[in-house]
Structure 1
Amino acid sequence: MLFPISKRCFLASTVAAVSFFWPSLARAQEAYPNQNVRFLVAFPAGGPTDAIARILGERLTEKWGQSVVIENRGGAGGNIAARQVAKAEPNGYTVLVTTSAYAVNPSLTANAGYVPETDFKTAVVAATSPNIIVAAAGLKASNLKELLEAAKTERFTYGMPGPGTTPHLSAEKIFKVIAKVDIPPVPFTGAAPLLNALLGGHITLACLAMPPTIELIKNGQIKALAVISDKRVPSLPDVPTAIEQGYGDGEESTWMALFVPSGTPAAVLEKLNTDINAVLAEKPILQRLDQLGMLPVGGSLTESEAYVRSEIKKWGEVVRKIGLKVE
């Protein structure tokens, strides 16, 4: 037999239930993070994405009193990590740390495995760095102009840190669209294995984000041919820009950003954004970024999301102009 429940009884029981659970829900959000936070890095250890993840993770661990655990999930130009985080529970405890490849891959590949606009929220764009074209120390060409002249009669290939990364697109644009020479790409899973191959003599050329190349260039282990920026960079003042040499029309950089799955509570997203911005403003962190050839970015949630959306549009247009497609 069913007994009718009065509206008053129903409201009373509902209020009681909410009153019972709400304090614990509120405490859970206020306490974030109250357990380890996992930073899933979309590229291998030793590259710029890994570097920014570790710099932020180390300082946030101190700030939060909870460990930030770094896990590298390289492969497919960053898509493997992105797919994994897109399916993670949206609670702020699994964070994607990736590059501008995140903005490129949806238009470059038939199925990136995620939709940026619906699967993720941008926590913050942390830092950016110009892309650079480098070569083995023994290469005869001493700059980009000499390389492109040699490429008319000699065969070269170049390494890049993964399909869909901005170094991949930067090189394709300069080689194929502007200089109209055929220098095929050789994909790697990230900057570290790419540089190991260059140092080991397995490839002659590479295009990648600047940070991991700086010391190798200064030590004479590899040769810098051109930095793809509006002006020369302070950390490598003797390296000419691609524009100076007649190739390129502006800076093309690799940015590093942090994303969480859509559905992550607003308070958690705000906490991540606020605390990372605070870390990026600290003098020791600024000094470390400068040493690596990175510029801090930061900004509000709205600014960060707007920037990423603009990059998705920008690089989508570049992909279509070059005519690239990765299956």
Structure 2
Amino acid sequence: MIIEQFVAKTPRLTAQLAAVLLAITGPVSGAKAQSYPNKPITIIVGFAPGGLMDTVSRLFGERLSAKLGQPVVVENRGGANGNIAHRRVASAEPDGYTILGATPTLAVNETIYPHRRGYSADQFKTVAIVASSPEMISTHPANAKTLKEFLDSARSTSAQFGTAGTGSMSHIAIQYFFEKLADLPTTHIPFQGGAPAVSAALGNQIPLVAAPPASGAASSVRSGGLRGLAVASEKRLSILPDVPTFAELGYPNFTSLVWAGFFVPANTPAEATATLSKAIGEILKEQPILARLEQIGFEPIFLDQESSEKLFRSDISKWKNMIDAIGLKIE
């Protein structure tokens, strides 16, 4: 009888003991199994392979994979000026496994697509903004030798310039410069991407191309295929020391930077966001990464997560002001 009573009570005692131990130690093995990240991560890019953001995403994705111990895949979802990729990430599970690799297009689209985006900037949280490349205008060596010469020759007709497309940052910034600062009418020539626009300038098929150095324009200027007339940065670029800034040429208030950044859905857990931000910050300090960024025309941006978020939010207002000033409407 005593033995039977003991056996009957044992399961209850065992359950009570287990509960006490769990309260003291916590679910250790479960936490380890579920710690972030524990499965592959996807970076969604809204532009074609080989483009500015695609290059940066693959560069950082490879190092993220090594640091976090999980595969990092870059997936290109081009179209609609980035909106397809933006929608994909905005509606993704907010778990840190779907990241958006984005340029200021994410900020620009808040204004030029007020009704048909299918998402809002408030649906994103900035993880890190890692590098920037200023807008630059370049021409074939047979054409104008200086910005002043180009402006003087354009006054009798219009400032004709090619860009990566209607609504691109280059389109908005340079049309704003010509119309509002240089007081010139413009003729915009849109292309299907930055590379075709640069190629057209190399062939002297267009008078001027507006494209950041990181879009491929830097290598063309360095090789002598194009002449850089001005860059929209506060100081000259180390890789293009002979190209003056707009400020040097009499336009001190004109700067325009195209940055590369990483974003996640707004409700992504803080643990995942912090892990990504920390890892990306560490990668940005690696010498081979810095050398590669400089080689393709980027300058690193050393900002923490909070400062990156502030930069993104301020850019929404900055681009809206320029878009409204030139009266650009796409829909």
Q: CA deviation at 1:57?
A: 1.1
Unpaired segments ≥5 residues, structure 2: 1-15
Q: Equivalents in 2 of 1:38, 1:232: separation in Å?
A: 35
Residue 267 of structure 1 corresponds to 271
- State how 1:169-188 maps to structure 2 within 5 Å: 169-188=172-191
One-letter code aligned to 1:152: R
Residue 89 of structure 1 corresponds to 93
Q: Is residue 78 from structure 1 mapped to residue 82 from structure 2 by the alignment?
A: yes
Q: Equivalents in 1 of 2:293, 2:56: separation in Å?
A: 8
Does the aligned pair in 2 maintain the 1:29–1:268 contact within 8 Å? no
> CA-to-partner distance for each residue in 1:104-137, whole Å, 9 max, x for gaps?
21112233332112x1111111111111011234
Q: Which has the larger radius of gyration?
A: 2
Q: CA deviation at 1:29?
A: 4.6
Residues 270 and 28 of structure 1, relative CA distance in 2, 3 Å threshold: farther
Residue 133 of structure 1 corresponds to 137
Range with greater deviation from structure 2 (257-266 or 108-117) = 108-117
- State how 1:16-27 maps to structure 2 within 5 Å: 26-27=31-32
Q: Equivalents in 2 of 1:186, 1:260: separation in Å?
A: 34
TM-score of the pair, normalised by structure 1: 0.85
- State how 1:233-248 maps to structure 2 within 5 Å: 233-247=237-251
Runs of 4+ in 1 over 4 A off after TM superposition: 21-25
TM-score of the pair, normalised by structure 2: 0.84
CA RMSD, Structure 1 to Structure 2 (Å): 2.6
Q: Equivalents in 1 of 2:165, 2:213: separation in Å?
A: 15
Q: CA deviation at 1:59?
A: 1.2
One-letter code aligned to 1:113: G
Q: Equivalents in 1 of 2:29, 2:171: separation in Å?
A: 48
Q: Is residue 103 from structure 1 mapped to residue 107 from structure 2 by the alignment?
A: yes
Q: Equivalents in 2 of 1:321, 1:155: separation in Å?
A: 18
One-letter code aligned to 1:281: K
Q: Report how many residues are paired.
A: 309
Q: Report the identity percentage.
A: 39
Q: Equivalents in 1 of 2:34, 2:227: separation in Å?
A: 50
Q: Is residue 115 from structure 1 mapped to residue 132 from structure 2 by the alignment?
A: no
Does the aligned pair in 1 maintain the 2:138–2:227 contact within 8 Å? yes
Tell me which of 57, 60, 68 is aligned to 2:72: 68
Q: CA deviation at 1:227?
A: 1.0
Does the aligned pair in 2 maintain the 1:98–1:256 contact within 8 Å? yes
Residues 92 and 132 of structure 1, relative CA distance in 2, 3 Å threshold: same
Q: Equivalents in 2 of 1:223, 1:86: separation in Å?
A: 40
Residues 152 and 146 of structure 1, relative CA distance in 2, 3 Å threshold: same
One-letter code aligned to 2:249: Q
Range with greater deviation from structure 2 (219-228 or 273-282) = 219-228
Residue 213 of structure 2 corresponds to 210
Unpaired segments ≥5 residues, structure 1: 1-11
Does the aligned pair in 2 maintain the 1:159–1:188 contact within 8 Å? yes
Residue 161 of structure 1 corresponds to 164
Residues 270 and 202 of structure 1, relative CA distance in 2, 3 Å threshold: same
Does the aligned pair in 1 maintain the 2:293–2:300 contact within 8 Å? yes
SS at match of 2:89: helix
Q: Equivalents in 2 of 1:324, 1:307: separation in Å?
A: 23
Tell me which of 305, 313, 321 is aligned to 1:317: 321
Residues 230 and 301 of structure 1, relative CA distance in 2, 3 Å threshold: closer
Residues 82 and 61 of structure 1, relative CA distance in 2, 3 Å threshold: same
Does the aligned pair in 2 maintain the 1:128–1:297 contact within 8 Å? yes
Q: Is residue 150 from structure 1 mapped to residue 153 from structure 2 by the alignment?
A: yes
Residue 59 of structure 1 corresponds to 63
SS at match of 1:184: strand
Q: Equivalents in 2 of 1:29, 1:75: separation in Å?
A: 35
Residues 25 and 200 of structure 1, relative CA distance in 2, 3 Å threshold: farther
Q: Equivalents in 1 of 2:97, 2:254: separation in Å?
A: 37
SS at match of 1:44: coil
Does the aligned pair in 2 maintain the 1:129–1:210 contact within 8 Å? yes
